Amino acid sequence: MRFGYSCCSERNTEQHQQHDNLSELERLKELAFGAPTVNLVNSLIVKGIKLRASDMHLEPIDGRYRVRYRVDGVLQESELIPMDLQLAVVSRIKILAGMDIAERRKPQDGKIETSVAAKELDIRVSALPLGEGESIVMRFLLKESINFGLETIGYEPDLIEIIEQDLKKTAGVILMTGPTGSGKTTSLYSFLAKINTPQVKIITLEDPIEYQLSGINQVQVNTEIGFDFARGLRSIVRQDPDVIMIGEIRDQETARIAMQSSLTGHLVFSTVHTNDTATTFTRLIDLGVEEFLLNASVISIMAQRLVRTICPHCKVPDESAQQILEHSDLGHLMALVDNKPTICKGAGCERCGGSGFRGRMAILEYLPNDYEVQALKKDEAFLEQVRQYRKRKQLRTLREDGLLKVLKGHTTLDEVIRVAG
């Protein structure tokens, strides 16, 4: 009898828990579909698009739910939402992104496809549990064909000429390096656009696919089913491509397949997370790629950052920065400026939200893997030897490329120091 009573008690407890879970789920859905919540979430997304934000961050802090937008790479604080609306807002976003609204203990990822102001938009959503609630980050990706010229990105004419020669090669590896958000993928897309013709088969392997490229086969990585970069790359090489783009080299297997693919007649593009061009060699060796394989396969390595450009509507001369640069040894850069350098800054206006900046452009460090670089032993002396090599060849560092853009009036000295040191 006692055993039977115990079973009944357990069943009743389980039924109560299921009922409570269902009640909680219904309550969350009711909150999420309420008109105030719907209007609030919609207005936050629309505001992000109007600000040209790349990301929107919602996070609990000091009893409020803070909203911040990343505009031109810098976070800007926006409104503060009362904490009692946090659950409603999070539930609404989770439902739109196809996530589990009842799960608040572990991270989740999702995607929203929508249109704002007649523009198709992909929003990548990440939810992370915190002590006071959940942090939501939404990345805005416009679903439109990208066709940026290298000039539009901000590449200097002398570097464009060199890069275009690299793009004419039919085999080898071209690597782009830099931190997350430094425009690496956009630059690789621009390279692909340069060589995208009906005679060339191009396949990309990405995570995620950020922009749709007309005439190019784009493959989405799916780690949940074991379809990672290495496995995807092995499948791609059986598709008879001429050009392969790998979103990122993260492990030894992907690195080796990429290098070996270039030796069998493929032009390969990819990215690596390192700070500059020279350390990319040491990073790949740390991953287990043999030095001879790097020497035989790599064409060139580029390190990239994005600097904010001065707002054209409130651009004024900057006398203090002009004096600093006049006393610096920048003769080799002055020769690349057509007119007399005019150092500028943004005074701040309505169109740039008072920041003095509007938009971003790339600063670039280029390193060819020529015979001289191949001959250098990739040991502890390698970085210093590359520095001396760059000086002899007059190849600009990231900082020097940034200073050239200061001399041309595109960005400010403070911005270059902030980004490139």
What is the distance between the alpha carbons of residues 13 and 247, in angstroms, rounded to a whole number? 50
Q: Which residue has the higher pLDDT, 96 or 319?
A: 96
Q: Rounded to the nearest 5 degrees, what angle is found at the Cα of 339, between the Cα atoms of 335 and 341?
A: 80
Contact 412, 405 (CB under 8 A): no
**pLDDT for 36:** 86
**pLDDT for 92:** 93
pLDDT higher than 80, residue 321: no
Contact 45, 123 (CB under 8 A): yes
Give me the torsion for CA of 174, 180, 181, 183, rounded to 10°.
0
Q: Which residue has the higher pLDDT, 322 or 59?
A: 59
Rounded mean pLDDT of 194-221?
A: 90
Residue 28: pLDDT band (50, 70, 90) is low
Least confident of 8-12, 117-121, 397-401: 8-12
Q: Which residue has the higher pLDDT, 230 or 322?
A: 230
Q: From its phi and psi, is residue 389 left (phi > 0), alpha (psi between -120 and 50) or beta?
A: alpha
**pLDDT for 327:** 60
Residue 45: pLDDT band (50, 70, 90) is very high
**pLDDT for 5:** 47
Contact 266, 246 (CB under 8 A): no
Q: Provide the mean pLDDT of the chain.
A: 88
Residue 326: pLDDT band (50, 70, 90) is low
Rounded mean pLDDT of 271-294?
A: 94
What is the distance between the alpha carbons of residues 378 and 365, in angstroms, rounded to a whole number? 19
**pLDDT for 131:** 87
Contact 296, 268 (CB under 8 A): no
Least confident of 104-108, 118-122, 259-263, 265-269: 118-122
Contacts of 156 (CB under 8 A, 6+ apart): 336, 364, 401, 404
Contact 174, 269 (CB under 8 A): yes
Q: Which residue has the higher pLDDT, 231 or 209?
A: 231
Rounded mean pLDDT of 370-379?
A: 95
Rounded mean pLDDT of 214-241?
A: 90
Rounded mean pLDDT of 340-347?
A: 87
Contacts of 37 (CB under 8 A, 6+ apart): 31, 85, 88, 89, 91, 92
